Structure 1
Amino acid sequence: MDTRTGTATTPDGTRLAYRDHHAPAPDPEPIPGSRRPPLLLLHGLAGHMGEWDDMLPLLLADGHRVITYDARGHGASTRRPPDMTRASAVGDVTTLIEELSLPTPVTLLGQSLGGHTAFLTAAAHPHLVDSLILIEAGPAGPSPGLPTEIAAWLDSWPTPFTSLSSATAFLGHEAWARGLEEREDGHHPRWDRDTMLAAVADLATRAYWSEWDRVTCPTLVVRGVNGTMGEAETTRMARKTQMRTGSPSQARPQSPSLPHSPPLTRTEVIEDAGHDVHLDQPRRLHAAVRTFLAKRNTA
């Protein structure tokens, strides 16, 4: 595996730490007509790009180029950026695509808040996105109580953690613990509380169904059977279909004289998984992703 690390700078001066992973070698016998757009992976709130480490070798083995990065306000990226709106997060995706000179369109794979950013990017810049994979992420809202819930969750962290093992025990996954930074007095989060609350402020005031209606690329929506995403939300998202001519149609009844292609949005439920499907069941998630991309990449 060839991995290159770097930092991209956005127009507002925010630095985005990224890793650009290349598969060891191309498929010696590619399927005729197949294509493998680059995969850009987006983590969730208070997370970091290392969350994808379990899935990374699986995706690389499939022959994909995979880019991971720390979202603004997270990890090794700028800790206190001037803007934490949803629009700024979308701008970060376009900055990475441009600075890495990624061949477009790309595939966006995002979990939770990262998935939200992914579909907003597809809605605003459809020419840049080939397909979407959303993990426990959708357009439902508004959620006025979300900032209070997030604040209570962040305040419950007994920081600094005395050890990585104690952090793993509290946070539930070793990958979350690896996102901490070690100081003399213990292990601390690599984000600021106020910045995290600013990141979800927009979600408290509105829903994003109008943006979802503008998404025209094939999408896989994945939720954990024990996750926080409701079945009603995924059902509504899956109503989107695509005419065989390529123009989208939202929840329009099919007519015998007006045939449709398969649903534009597919859904998958992963057993024995919560909100962090990518950490709870990385291999099951990869199987779902691989099947979806295999069909998409030979379409």
Structure 2
Amino acid sequence: MTSTSCSPWSERIVIRDGVRLVCRDWGGSGTSTGTGTGTGTDVLLLHGLAGHSGEWDATARLLRDSGHRVVALDQRGHGGSERHPGDVSRAAYVADAVAVIDALGLQRPVLVGQSLGGSTALLTASAHPGLPRALVLVEAGPGGANPGVQEQIGGWLRAWPLPFPSREVAAAYLGDGKQSVGEGWAAGLEERADGLWPRFDPEVMVRSLDESATRAFWDEWTAVACPTLTVLGQGEQGGIIGGEEYAEMVRLRPALNGASVPGAGHDLHLERPAILHGLIVDFLREVVGAASPGLGVASAP
């Protein structure tokens, strides 16, 4: 199950209903391991659409070194997990997260998700209120019906100039001027004889947005019972969570913790992993009592 002898994480495989799910298990001294101080919490990291578990490497390492047990999941259809699952409903993504938590023995983990992974985390917390200790949404929220999102995202994915001849070329294209973002996306590509290719099928990605294109998840948002932190990008182009959506999130759940990261965009976990780490551990210290050193707090939205 170990990826390589020198890797800082171990590869863990979970099978749910015949679907292969691959995780990066960073270990650590969270509540499920019984190692170290035991003062940290277990953490499950969930990437966004067309992403991969490696996007979380910098954040995962920081969280582990802060005393947490950390696991990052390649969600179905992504990365090393099943490339063409028959079911890409929101419920299937949620069931996968629960299966990984159970199989790897994570004890009331903190669910941290970016973008589509944030949606998975939110819906998991809503459907299983006793399961997570806390919820962290990175550039994610209940959203609203967006009928054009599939055409927009699908068009972008299909337009990639494949295969990429090198990771440098891929990073330049995918980062759109942001080196850390481009490198994060390029790290998820697989090498073939003719070049680098994505580890997902664009049509599977489009189908994964079926529910998000037609509905919002406000009922699920109000059903979340655990402490929640929302982290938003505040770069020149901003993130995907607008002021009205955030205001409604606060109105429905006044105890919501919120922060924004100036200068960062939708992929703020790639742009500012140290700041994100600081926000998470400060949040956990305040609402959970996990003993972790913080690295400062960004401005609230």
* TM bracket (short chain): 0.7 to 0.9
Aligned position for 2:294: none
Aligned position for 2:141: 138
Kept in 1, the 8 Å contact 2:19–2:85? The answer is yes
- 1:83-102 Cα shifts (integer Å, max 9, x gaps): 00000000001110111122
CA distance in 2, matches of 1:99, 1:290: 25
Q: Tell me the matched-pair count.
A: 270
Aligned position for 1:230: 242
Aligned position for 2:273: 282
Secondary structure at the counterpart of residue 55 of structure 1? helix
Q: CA deviation at 1:136?
A: 0.6
Of the three residues 34, 40, 46, the one matched with 1:42 is: 46
Of the three residues 60, 64, 69, the one matched with 1:60 is: 64
Aligned position for 2:286: 295
Q: CA deviation at 1:4?
A: 2.7
Residue 208 of structure 1 pairs with residue 217 of structure 2: yes
Aligned position for 1:157: 160
Aligned position for 2:9: 3
Q: Which amino acid aligns with 1:49?
A: S
Aligned position for 2:296: none
Kept in 2, the 8 Å contact 1:48–1:71? The answer is yes
User: Normalized against structure 1, the TM-score is what?
Assistant: 0.87
Of the three residues 120, 123, 128, the one matched with 1:125 is: 128
Q: CA deviation at 1:155?
A: 1.9
* Runs of 4 or more above 6 Å deviation: none
Q: Which amino acid aligns with 1:83?
A: D
Q: CA deviation at 1:236?
A: 1.4
Kept in 2, the 8 Å contact 1:239–1:265? The answer is no
CA distance in 2, matches of 1:177, 1:270: 23
Kept in 2, the 8 Å contact 1:20–1:67? The answer is yes
Once the two structures are superposed, the pairs formed by residues 36-115 of structure 1 within 5 Å of their partners are: 36-103=40-107, 105-115=108-118
Of the three residues 13, 17, 20, the one matched with 2:25 is: 20
Q: CA deviation at 1:297?
A: 2.3
Q: Which amino acid aligns with 2:51?
A: G
Kept in 1, the 8 Å contact 2:229–2:283? The answer is yes
Aligned position for 1:254: none
CA distance in 2, matches of 1:297, 1:2: 27
Aligned position for 1:182: 191
> Cα RMSD (Å) of the superposition?
1.6
- 1:119-156 Cα shifts (integer Å, max 9, x gaps): 10000001111100000101121111110111111122
Q: CA deviation at 1:2?
A: 6.4
Aligned position for 1:259: none
Q: CA deviation at 1:106?
A: 1.2
Kept in 2, the 8 Å contact 1:44–1:110? The answer is yes
Q: Runs of 5+ in structure 2 lacking a partner? A: 1-6, 30-34, 176-181, 291-301
Aligned position for 1:248: none
Of the three residues 246, 250, 264, the one matched with 2:255 is: 264
Kept in 2, the 8 Å contact 1:217–1:264? The answer is no
Kept in 2, the 8 Å contact 1:240–1:265? The answer is no
User: Normalized against structure 2, the TM-score is what?
Assistant: 0.86
